[in-house]
Amino acid sequence: MEKTTYTRFQGKRYTYEIKYDHAGYEVSRDGAIKKIGLVPNTSDRPLLTRAEAMHRGLFSAEIDIEGLIGMDE
């Protein structure tokens, strides 16, 4: 599983950890999961790679993090 970090630009400038794998991603802050994004199955392949999913616009953890507000933050 690939890991990276991301610091929000809007609202509270928390730093989140993002873990990626072939099925999707998990966003956490201080050990608490804040968001899970899954790559949907396609008819031609059971799972896409992270690069393929990003290229097709199927998920973007950074956009989801910027969308976290209020209690989710």
| Spatial separation of the C-alpha atoms in residues 55 and 47, rounded to whole Å | 14
Task: Give residue 20's pLDDT band: very low, low, confident or very high (50, 70, 90).
Answer: confident
Write down the pTM of the prediction: 0.61
Q: Best-predicted range by mean pLDDT among 10-19, 25-34, 42-51? A: 25-34
As a three-state string, the secondary structure of 8-68 is CCCCCCCEEEEEEECCEEEEEECCEEEEEEECCCCCCCCCCCHHHHHHCCCCCHHHHHHCC
For residue 23, pLDDT over 60 is answered with: yes
Residue of higher predicted confidence among 26 and 65: 26
Task: Quote the pLDDT of residue 71.
Answer: 47
**Percent of the chain scoring above 70 in pLDDT:** 62
